[in-house]
């Protein structure tokens, strides 16, 4: 029956009232859908667009917004790393603008990377960490999947082979390689070697090379003299227009001012990682004299190094810095300076012998060999560089070119990344899906067996204390469930049922309101049906199954839905009763995920948690409405 009859809708006043009714319904629908759209939109965000207004993220329609998200993810949400590699001065990724493409220079950079074999520590791939949004980026997922397939899902085999101690697959992580400062060196573990093999197979557009000169300008000079080039010029008696005009010489810069030479020596001796420092052969005598002063006897050095040198003159000069051990400590002290505690003499490599091995310098040498003069390079590449030192590797242009060819793929990645993180968490970690499915099935079956049986007994036999029992069961709804959690915990502990499915199901298997609702429905069924069945020789079980339950489909669907919802959304009781992670349900796992994730991942977790209940309602809404609206007509 319609809310308003056809006659009432005729005329101007009836039409206006009908229109207002539809507007109110549309407004109500909007108010219901808006929170869901907010969660969906929030699940696609990252720090660069987290405060962006609107329900539709800009990166879905704006390539510049998508490019910023890509670069943010590429550099593992670190603006400092982006500034080092791009030789830029970004304050946030929101300030980033697409570069002017220089396609021929990009091709020269790719040719340089192909011709000169780079050591594995000289470059790395991005999208392996998200310390702010705390999600699982693209290449971290790929690396986990690679190791999972390699070891057949056996985490113990991975730990034993690669020398790790991960407790679960989702705990696998990668620390972004940042070998700029003196305190960081490659660990040399099997896990790192596996990552080095992995990154060799990644496309150049998802990798970036170490930029020592960018580190010198971004985190050494600017932190020492501020971002104001005028202050740097006053102290160094120079006239640079910006930090972009400053370059890092590969050897001691005799032609620069004394203050600039002091900065260079301080940076090389005490700040820069040893991986980028070399010493010319003429420093060999100084190195051997230093070792002799430090160890005194060649046998002491042999014991520490595990060698068999006959004398200190046989000890070779270090050509490539080692990653660990006493040798690297001695080499570090030789570069920075070591004072003999007995004589007070300072031993260190002569500053004129120090050399830098950087990719910027190697690329400039490569271009000089290719083109000879800067004029020839500018003519053939269509550029306007003043000299070779002003050329920096075109890594930003390379990344931008890769971005332009993979925009659709990147959009899909950023739309689904946080959802994938949640799904990986609940599907791979523990047994969340299995536990939740078993718990919900047992809860629904228990509710459909115990509650109808109790209501049938009260309805059929109508004992004198029926209403007292109903009042007692209804009174249980007057108190919040949290009040009974501690007594239930103590009872289940005494029964030895903690961390079991019976502990989850039994306390709520009989529900007072469900019994009350079912009894009222059973009372409305015709008594003549039972009398006819009894005359035909049917027993109580047959009448219960073939008459009562057969005619109670809609109301039983409501009871089943209620039991499913209570079991699926059960969090506090499930966490209290089942403290073993192997028995955690999906709600407990999602709670644990939210404690260590950023806001976009939390939105993704809320969206994933809402999907099952939404699907159940959509699939069962007709049955539910029949049970609510027409219970007496069945």
Grade residue 3 by pLDDT with cuts at 50, 70 and 90.
low
Residue 146: which residues within 8 A CB-CB, separation 6 or more?
198
Give start and end residues of each alpha helix (H) in 116-250.
138-150, 155-162, 190-200, 212-215, 222-225, 229-236
Determine which of 45-49, 68-72, 410-414, 480-484 has the lowest per-residue pLDDT on average. 480-484
What pLDDT is stored for residue 473 in this prediction? 73
pLDDT in tens, 368-381: 999 999 999 999 99
Six token digits for residue 83: 């500034």
pLDDT in tens, 79-125: 999 999 999 989 999 999 999 888 999 999 999 999 888 889 999 99
Give the N- to C-terminal CA distance of the chain in Å, as an integer. 18
Calpha distance 577→582 (Å, rounded): 12
DSSP annotation of 32: H
Bridge partners, residue 124, by sequence: 208
Grade residue 354 by pLDDT with cuts at 50, 70 and 90.
very high
DSSP 322-338: -SSSHHHHHHHHHHH-E
What pLDDT is stored for residue 62 in this prediction? 93
Q: Is the pLDDT of residue 520 over 90?
A: no
Mean pLDDT computed over every residue of the chain:
86
Determine which of 45-59, 185-199, 255-269, 476-490 has the lowest per-residue pLDDT on average. 476-490
260 and 236 Cβ atoms separated by less than 8 Å: yes
Residue 51: which residues within 8 A CB-CB, separation 6 or more?
none
395 and 208 Cβ atoms separated by less than 8 Å: yes
- Which one is predicted more confidently, 578 or 364? 364
Calpha distance 378→376 (Å, rounded): 5
pLDDT in tens, 460-509: 877 777 777 777 777 777 777 777 788 888 888 888 888 888 888 888 88
DSSP annotation of 251: B
Q: Is the pLDDT of residue 415 over 90?
A: yes
Give the CA count within 13 Å in the CB-facing half-sphere of 550.
9
Grade residue 8 by pLDDT with cuts at 50, 70 and 90.
low
What pLDDT is stored for residue 633 in this prediction? 45
Most confident of 31-40, 49-58, 80-89: 80-89
Calpha distance 95→102 (Å, rounded): 21
- Which one is predicted more confidently, 221 or 526? 221
What pLDDT is stored for residue 631 in this prediction? 47
pLDDT in tens, 249-267: 999 998 889 999 999 999 9
What pLDDT is stored for residue 634 in this prediction? 43
Across the range 279-303, mean pLDDT stands at 91
Return the closest-CA partner of residue 133 out of 516, 422, 546, 515.
422
Q: Which helix (H) or strand (E) is 279 found in, with range? A: strand 277-279
Q: Is the pLDDT of residue 7 over 60?
A: no
What pLDDT is stored for residue 509 in this prediction? 84
Calpha distance 388→459 (Å, rounded): 95
Residue 497: which residues within 8 A CB-CB, separation 6 or more?
503, 506
What pLDDT is stored for residue 1 in this prediction? 45
Q: Is the pLDDT of residue 630 over 70?
A: no
Q: How many residues does the structure list for the chain?
A: 634
Grade residue 162 by pLDDT with cuts at 50, 70 and 90.
very high
Across the range 136-140, mean pLDDT stands at 93
Calpha distance 55→430 (Å, rounded): 34
Six token digits for residue 45: 């965000």
What pLDDT is stored for residue 497 in this prediction? 86
Across the range 205-211, mean pLDDT stands at 94
Calpha distance 218→89 (Å, rounded): 8
Calpha distance 486→475 (Å, rounded): 19
Calpha distance 343→360 (Å, rounded): 41
What pLDDT is stored for residue 2 in this prediction? 54
What pLDDT is stored for residue 629 in this prediction? 54
Across the range 1-15, mean pLDDT stands at 58
pLDDT in tens, 542-584: 888 888 888 887 788 888 888 888 888 888 888 888 888 888 8
Q: Which residue has the tokens 């910023």?
A: 68
């Amino acid at each position: 029956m319609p809310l308003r009859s056809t006659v009432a809708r005729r005329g101007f006043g009836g039409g206006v009232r009908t229109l207002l009714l539809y507007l109110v319904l549309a407004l109500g629908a909007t108010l219901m859908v808006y929170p869901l759209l907010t969660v969906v939109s929030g699940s696609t965000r990252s720090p660069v667009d987290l405060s962006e207004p609107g329900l539709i993220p800009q990166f879905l329609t704006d390539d510049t917004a998508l490019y910023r998200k890509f670069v943010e993810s590429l550099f593992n949400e670190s603006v400092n790393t982006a500034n080092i590699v791009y030789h830029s001065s970004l304050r946030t990724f929101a300030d980033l603008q697409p570069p002017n493409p220089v396609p021929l220079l990009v091709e020269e950079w790719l040719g340089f990377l192909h011709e000169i074999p780079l050591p594995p520590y000289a470059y790395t791939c991005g999208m392996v960490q998200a310390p702010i949004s705390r999600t699982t980026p693209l290449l971290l997922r790929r690396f986990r999947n690679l190791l999972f397939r390699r070891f057949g899902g056996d985490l113990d085999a991975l730990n034993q082979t690669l020398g790790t101690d991960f407790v679960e697959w989702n705990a696998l992580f990668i620390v972004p390689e940042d070998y700029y400062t003196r305190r960081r060196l490659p660990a040399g573990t099997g896990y790192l070697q596996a990552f080095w093999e992995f990154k060799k197979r990644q496309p150049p557009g998802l990798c970036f090379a170490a930029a020592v000169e960018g580190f010198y300008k971004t985190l050494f000079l600017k932190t020492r003299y501020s971002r104001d080039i005028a202050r740097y010029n006053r102290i160094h008696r120079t006239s640079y227009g910006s930090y972009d005009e400053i370059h890092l010489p590969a050897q001691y810069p005799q032609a620069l001012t004394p203050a600039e030479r002091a900065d260079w020596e301080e940076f090389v001796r005490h700040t820069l990682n040893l991986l980028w420092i070399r010493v010319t052969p003429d420093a060999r005598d100084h190195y051997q004299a230093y070792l002799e002063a430090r160890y005194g006897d060649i046998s002491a050095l042999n014991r520490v190094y595990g060698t068999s040198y006959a004398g200190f003159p046989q000890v070779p000069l270090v050509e490539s810095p080692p990653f660990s051990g006493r040798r690297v400590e001695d080499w570090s002290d030789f570069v920075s300076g070591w004072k003999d505690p007995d004589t007070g003499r300072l031993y260190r490599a002569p500053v004129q012998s120090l050399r830098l091995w950087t990719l910027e310098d190697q690329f400039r040498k490569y271009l000089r060999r290719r083109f000879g003069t800067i004029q020839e390079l500018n003519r053939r590449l269509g550029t306007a560089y003043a000299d070779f030192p002003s050329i920096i590797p075109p890594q930003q242009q390379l990344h931008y070119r890769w971005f332009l060819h993979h925009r659709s793929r990147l959009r899909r990645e950023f739309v689904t990344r946080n959802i994938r993180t949640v799904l990986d968490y609940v599907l791979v970690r523990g047994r969340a899906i299995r536990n939740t499915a078993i718990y919900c099935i047992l809860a629904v079956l228990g509710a459909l067996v115990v509650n109808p049986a109790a209501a049938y007994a009260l309805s059929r036999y109508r004992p004198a204390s029926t209403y007292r029992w109903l009042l007692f069961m209804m009174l249980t709804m007057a108190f919040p469930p949290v009040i009974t959690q501690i007594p239930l915990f103590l009872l289940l502990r005494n029964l030895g049922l903690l961390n079991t499915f019976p502990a989850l199901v039994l306390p709520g298997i009989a529900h007072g309101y469900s019994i009350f609702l079912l009894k009222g429905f059973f009372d409305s069924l015709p008594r003549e049906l039972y009398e006819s069945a009894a005359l035909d020789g049917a027993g109580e079980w047959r009448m219960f199954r073939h008459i009562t339950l057969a005619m109670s489909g809609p109301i039983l669907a409501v009871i089943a839905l209620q039991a499913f919802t209570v079991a699926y959304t059960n969090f506090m009781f499930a966490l209290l009763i089942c403290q073993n992670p192997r028995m955690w349900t999906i709600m407990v796992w999602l709670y644990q995920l939210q404690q260590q994730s950023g806001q976009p991942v939390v939105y993704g977790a809320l969206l994933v948690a809402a999907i099952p209940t939404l699907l159940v309602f959509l699939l069962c809404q007709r049955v539910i409405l029949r049970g609510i609206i027409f219970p007496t007509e069945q």
